[in-house]
Amino acid sequence: HAAAQLHEGAGTSGIYHLAGTGEANWSGFARHILDTSRVLGGPWARVRDIATMDYPTKARRPANSRLSSAKFAAAFGWNAPEWRQSTEAVVRRLLAGEPKQALTA
């Protein structure tokens, strides 16, 4: 739908951010993936939170890097599902042994 609108040049060109609705930090995202895996009988590990400033990297990281998908929703009339639902679906597919190439479809 969105790709067709962009291809047709329906006045929707630009840069868009698109992600599942809701918010998460990296440790919360990792924790949800691993907790879902455990519930489904897959591998699990404990996730330890650390502050961005405590993670050694040459690049400076912002304290808050949340992005909004509101522009995409307004332009194309569609919101992505909540990120936890989509993540659970991907974990299920990975644990079922689905080839990684199929996960992009």
Residue 2 has pLDDT above 70, yes or no: no
Residue 8, domain member (yes or no): no
Boundaries of domain holding 89: 17-47+67-105
Number of residues in the chain = 105
Residue 104 has pLDDT above 80, yes or no: no
The mean pLDDT of 21-47, rounded to a whole number, is: 94
pLDDT in tens, 38-87: 999 999 999 999 887 788 888 887 777 888 999 989 988 888 999 999 99
Residue 98, domain member (yes or no): yes
Tokens encoding 76: 């194309």
Structural domain tally of the chain?
1
The mean pLDDT of 19-32, rounded to a whole number, is: 92
CA distance 100 to 97: 9
pTM listed for this prediction: 0.76
Residue 62, domain member (yes or no): no
